[in-house]
Amino acid sequence: MHLQESGEMYLETILRLSEKLEKVRSIDIAEEMGYSKPSISRAMRILKENGFVTIDTLGAVTLTEKGRAAAEKTYERHRVLTALFMGLGVDEATATDDACKIEHVISDETFDAIKRHMTEKKGFLPD
């Protein structure tokens, strides 16, 4: 299954929440993304059916290996693109918004070239 932008956003959100919460629940995802609980429940069911997350009996959502790989790829793109745009003088809010849009459609080839450029020419990548 190829993830759509919305699936990538859910996985990225779960990854970021899991870095600060012991257990990630659907309500946490709903609050973070500003979506309704039914929308989140439907999305989690689809992600679970496709092997991206597991949900335990208490409702804790955990990324599978497949889900973590997809989330980390999207989150890396977000961080690198945000840093690139800010390095070009774009304010943080705009850089973050634009990175969020582009991270889902940019090709691997172009993204890899940006990372190479930032490493070789600029000497930095975000953490």
Residues 51-79, mean pLDDT to the nearest whole number: 96
The overall average pLDDT reported for the chain is 92
Q: What share of the chain is helix, strand, coil (3-state, %, to 5)?
A: 65, 5, 30
Backbone angles phi, psi at 97, to 5 degrees: -60, -45
Q: Tell me: pLDDT of 21 over 80.
A: yes
74-102 residue pLDDT tens = 999 999 999 999 988 999 999 999 999 99
pLDDT category at 124 given cuts 50, 70, 90 is low
Residue 80: per-residue pLDDT: 93
Residues 100-123, mean pLDDT to the nearest whole number: 88
Global confidence as pTM: 0.85
Contact 126, 80 (CB under 8 A): yes
Q: Helices (DSSP H) in 19-91: which residue ranges? A: 26-33, 37-49, 65-87
